[in-house]
A and B are shown apart, each in its own frame.
Chain A
Amino acid sequence: GQQLNQSPQSMFIQEGEDVSMNCTSSSIFNTWLWYKQEPGEGPVLLIALYKAGELTSNGRLTAQFGITRKDSFLNISASIPSDVGIYFCAGLNPPSEAGNMLTFGGGTRLMVKP
């Protein structure tokens, strides 16, 4: 089946630093999603990417859908302590009668030192 390789697995950075994480896949996706999950909470959608090459921003977050449709990256600029959490990339397969199935990356655990 499809697998997403997400890196790095964890990052420990100083407040104010920029952060970059990425996901690669052995096969293509039509949609890439980035979620953030804080302890004891469910994943929250940060950014959705629908077209190859698309670059989308949400505040200090920027994500791109790779031109080959097999990769995506997420950047966080000027990190702050509340950015702490686990960030998951996820690929969506084309719509089908069975609904939209997500394939998750393994997650990037971000820790920010004030």
Chain B
Amino acid sequence: DAMVIQNPRYQVTQFGKPVTLSCSQTLNHNVMYWYQQKSSQAPKLLFHYYDKDFNNEADTPDNFQSRRPNTSFCFLDIRSPGLGDAAMYLCATSRDSGRRNQPQHFGDGTRLSIL
């Protein structure tokens, strides 16, 4: 019954080798988010898509990029991963109708390790 699905659950990459994480949703939500979470910390928003409109957080490194080819899928691309990018990456979705705040629903995350 998973509604926000992240693949893979675990990803190992080499220092500097590009990596792509994927997220899909069956909720038909119009907003999708990518968060980075380091150990014992709260998730930190990297960017989000409102429909097709991309919104980048001011402090998100240029090394991180995202694509949303359609409503259901969103990708996180890390162009040249550094050791500091090792973290859990969480995808979330919400429905924004403009009338009422709607909670975000999270996937189970991808844990990224850098060798």
Q: How far is the CB of A40 from chain B (nearest CB, A)?
A: 7
Q: Are A98 and B98 in contact (CB under 8 A)?
A: no
Q: Tell which of A30, A31, A94, A107 touches B42, judged by Cβ atoms closer than 8 Å.
A: A107
CA distance A101 to B100 in the complex (A): 13
Q: Tell which of A31, A94, A98 touches B50, judged by Cβ atoms closer than 8 Å.
A: A98
Encoded as 1 (CB less than 8 Å from any A CB) or 0, chain B from 59 to 83 comes to 0000000000000000000000000
CA distance A51 to B86 in the complex (A): 38
Residues in A whose Cβ lies below 8 Å from that of B105: 45
Residues in B whose Cβ lies below 8 Å from that of A107: 40-42
What interface size band does chain A fall in?
A: 20 to 34
Q: How far is the CB of A26 from chain B (nearest CB, A)?
A: 16
Q: A30-B101, A41-B109, A97-B50 are in contact. Are A105 and B42 (CB under 8 A)?
A: yes
Q: Are A101 and B109 in contact (CB under 8 A)?
A: no
Q: Are A92 and B106 in contact (CB under 8 A)?
A: no
Which 10 A-B pairs have CB atoms at the shortest separation, nearest pair first?
A104-B42, A42-B106, A31-B101, A92-B101, A99-B31, A99-B50, A42-B108, A43-B106, A42-B109, A95-B98
